[in-house]
Structure formats: structure tokens, C-alpha cells
Amino acid sequence: MLHTGSCHCGALSFEFEAPPVTEGLRCNCSICARKGATMTGFSVSSEQIRIKAKDGALSTYTFGSGVAKHHFCNKCGIYTFHQTLRQPGYYRINIGCIDGVDSSSIPFEVFNGAAIKS
């Protein structure tokens, strides 16, 4: 199905093809622990996601090896998606940013990212 979503202010929006969102993933690494977001359990390729950013709203934070790319809106500060450490070029989406999905009702697994060198 086609999912749509955005940051809070709407400067950053996206759509992607994927199955319905029924499970999430959280991670205990140093950055995910601070964000506290539940991400999609699946990842989507750069061909599957279309990202629209107004006025250069898309910013990217990296640390450590720089492989994982943490994308956020630099107008409202919301973290919308990241490119994963394990699969560069693939994105996990912040479930809270997906239209019509109640992120607080989605069960999630916890990935032990703290055990992996970033």
C-alpha cells in the first residue's frame, strides 16, 4: 500500500510503498535511546521512498562511522527517517510521522544497537 507522512511542520514529507505497518522496532543505541522513536519494522529502499523537502528542510546527522544517516526537518526538528547502519541505502521510517498510524498502539521489538559499533 502507499503510505504518506511528514514532519510536524510539513516542510518535509514522504511517501513509500510497503505493507501495512503492524510492528515496529526500537533500538537502545546512543542516538535511538535519546530519540525514543518507534521505527518501522521493515526497511524500504531508496527507490521505494519519495522524499519532498521544501526550502532545504532536510538535514542529516551522522556520527561514528557515518554509515547510518539520521534525517530530520531543520524547521521543526522532527526526526522522520534514517538510513540504516545494517543496510545502507535503506530507510526505516518514524512510525509517528506516518499518516493514519497510531504509533502508541504498534507493538515493537528492541534491537540491541548498543552492542554494535556504529
Residue with smaller CB distance to Zn ion, 69 or 108: 69
CB of 104 to Zn ion, least distance (A): 21
Residue with smaller CB distance to Zn ion, 3 or 75: 75
DSSP type of residue 38:
P
CB of 6 to Zn ion, least distance (A): 7
DSSP H stretches of helix in the chain? 30-35
Binding residues for Zn ion (CB under 5 A): 7, 9, 11, 73, 75-76
Q: Which of 81, 78, 99, 80 is nearest to 90 (CA)?
A: 81
CB of 112 to Zn ion, least distance (A): 31
* Amino acid (1-letter code) at residue 7: C
